[in-house]
Structure formats: C-alpha cells, structure tokens
Amino acid sequence: MGGRRDRRRPASTVARRTRPSDRGRGARDGRSAPHAQSRRETEGHPPARRSGSVHPASRGGGCRRCDGRQPHHCLQLPQRAAPLRPAVRSFDIIAFDADDTLWHSEDRFTAGELRFVDLVAPYAPEGIDVRAALTAVERKNLSVLGYGVKAFGLSAVEAAISITDGAVPIEVIAQLMEMIRAHLTEPVRLLSNVSEVLTLVGRHYPLALITKGDLVHQTHKVQTSGLAHHFEHVEILLEKDPGTYARVFARMGVDPTRVCMVGNSVRSDILPVMALGGTAVHVPYPLLWELEHVEHDEHFADLASIADLPAWLTLP
C-alpha cells in the first residue's frame, strides 16, 4: 500500500540514585537496589511508547475530505445524564474522532481509487501512474474542496479528464459519478466494540465527537450510526489543527489540558491536541490516506483496539 511502519521504542525507566542505606539493605537481604517507576507504571500501566510515523496503509485516517465552504458546525443533541462517578484517570471530557475510529471509512475510499484505476487506465498514456495522478489532484484541490466523498468525486472526474487529455469516454465519467453516489448513500458500518466502549466510558466521562468532512454527509452518518445519544457535543470541522481544536474546546467550556482525544490519525487527532497540552490516544486503522501521513517524534498512548480504551482509562 506504500505505507510506512511505525518506529516504536519503549520509554526508558529512570533509575533512582542508590543511597548508602539502600546498598546496605540490598547487600544484607541479597536483593538489588530498587528502581523508581515511571508515573504510568505506578498507575498500573506499561510505559508509553514512541511512535515515529503513521501506521502502514495506502491512506485513510481521521475523517477524510470535507466541503471546504461550510463553517464549523456543532450538532445539537439531547441532554445526557451526568456521569456516575469519576474514574481513576482524570479528564473533563473524552473526545472521539469518527471516520476509521468509530466506523469504517477509508476502506471504501481505497476501493474507489482502485475502481478509478480500472476505469481510467485503459485511456491513459503509457507509463502514467493513474492512482498517483489522482492523489496529486486531490492534494491540489484540498484547499478548495476540502475533505469528503464529494471532494473525492470531483477530483476523480478532474483527474480522469486531465490524465487522458480529454480522451476518457463520457460513459466512464458516468460510472465514476455512480460510484460516488453509492459511496454517499451506503449505511454506516461500525467498528467492533464501539457501542460497548462508548457506553462504558460514558458512565464516567462526558463524551464528544469531533470529526472533519462534508457537513451533509457527516451529519447523516452521525444521525444514522446509532451512536449520537452517547455524545454531549458533536463538531463537524473544516480542518483539524490546534487553532480549530482550541476554538472547539472554548465552545465546550473545557480547558484543553483536561481533554483526552481518541482517534486513528496522528496528523489530525493526536498532534494538534497534544500541541494544546491535551492528552491523545492513538487507535490505528489498517488503512491510512496518503495525505494523512506525518513524521513526528512525540510520545502518546497507542492502543491496538478501541476495546482497550477502558483499561487504559483504568475504569472500574
């Protein structure tokens, strides 16, 4: 898929300076001098891991692609009951990404790319990497079209015309449009354990959903996912960067340092929140969109599955 593997190194444990009394006690009972534990170890968790780059994949990560024209949007939801009691880890709110964190998304985009190659390659000049050309058009259009299925569809049509120098038949364009329509209307496919995890975590913390993407499509997915009742706040954004997150947290009335963000994209869900002093938990998805790749040298929690989140939060 052209992805890059994460470089993960366990965080080192700091050794406590041995005092004379420690050395004497160790000599008497045959034990070596004790070592100080990291804060995570004293709380019963393994040391944090360092992730050097995003997980391998062709693309995909946080919510992909949105209509760049809409304002930041907050979906109004019914009031939820207050959490039962605080958990061991102390946050004011737990926020979740949506696409590829709560439900599948990137696998459908990947299938769309492969379909694009099948349809357009027969009309492209020899030696042209059709899939790479599509990605280049998406990158060029990002500031104008943003993220989402509609942006992908417009870029696909533009790429088909430009790659073939206008030789692509109208029938191929029609098939591309039908593919995009099917993508927009397909049901939400939840990832495993999502409903159970949201129910459990929501007993102890207020929950928020923070995603980016096309306003109409993302709103439809939230409303038809069966998950909307878990969240006190739903935000559909143009972009996920520190400034945008800061405005979102201000609207929520929460200090960024008291937020825990859970998501699959290091670029969109992890690094911007950490830049504000917040906590971030990375739950990778098998596929990652090329434009979501980012190099970094940050420490953060890295879970194999969202099912591991309650244990990481040390919920009873």
The full DSSP string for 165-191 is TT-S-HHHHHHHHHHHHHHHHSPP-BP
pLDDT given for residue 74 in this prediction: 52
Q: Measured between alpha carbons, how far apart are the two ends of the chain, in Å?
A: 40
Strands 295-302 and 279-282: parallel
Q: How far apart are CA 201 and CA 204, in angstroms?
A: 6
Tokens 């060029």 -> residue: 140
User: Of 287, 314, 252, which is closest to residue 95 (Cα–Cα)?
Assistant: 252
Residue 146 structure tokens: 């943003």
Q: Which residues have CB under 8 Å from 143's CB, separation 6+? A: 68
Q: Where are the domains of the chain?
A: 87-103+189-313, 106-184
- The superfamily in CATH containing domain 87-103+189-313 is HAD superfamily/HAD-like (3.40.50.1000)
Backbone Cα Rg of the chain: 23
Threshold 0.95, pTM exceeds = no
Q: What are phi and psi of 136, to 5 degrees?
A: -65, -40
3-state secondary structure 256-305: HHHEEEEECCHHHHHHHHHHCCCEEEECCCCCCEHHHCCEEEEEEEECCC
E-only strand ranges, the chain = 8-10, 49-53, 73-75, 93-96, 207-212, 233-237, 259-263, 279-282, 295-302
pLDDT given for residue 293 in this prediction: 86
Cβ proximity of 2 and 290 under 8 Å: yes
User: Of 164, 152, 86, 87, which is closest to residue 121 (Cα–Cα)?
Assistant: 164
- The superfamily in CATH containing domain 106-184 is Putative phosphatase; domain 2 (1.10.150.240)
> Could you state, in chain order, the average pLDDT of each consecutive group of 10 residues for the chain (316 residues)?
39 37 39 42 44 38 42 51 53 98 97 98 96 96 94 98 97 98 97 98 97 96 98 96 98 97 96 97 94 88 97 92
Residue 69 structure tokens: 């024209």
Q: How far apart are CA 210 and CA 71, in angstroms?
A: 14
User: Of 102, 82, 101, which is closest to residue 92 (Cα–Cα)?
Assistant: 82
Instruction: Give burial (CB, 10 Å; 0-12/13-18/19+) of 171.
Output: exposed
Q: Number of helices (H) and strands (E), helices first, in the chain? A: 11, 9
Residue 174 structure tokens: 């029609």
Write the CA distances from 143 to 38, 74, 170, 313, integer angstroms: 43, 22, 27, 37
Cβ proximity of 112 and 179 under 8 Å: yes
Residue 160 structure tokens: 């088909």
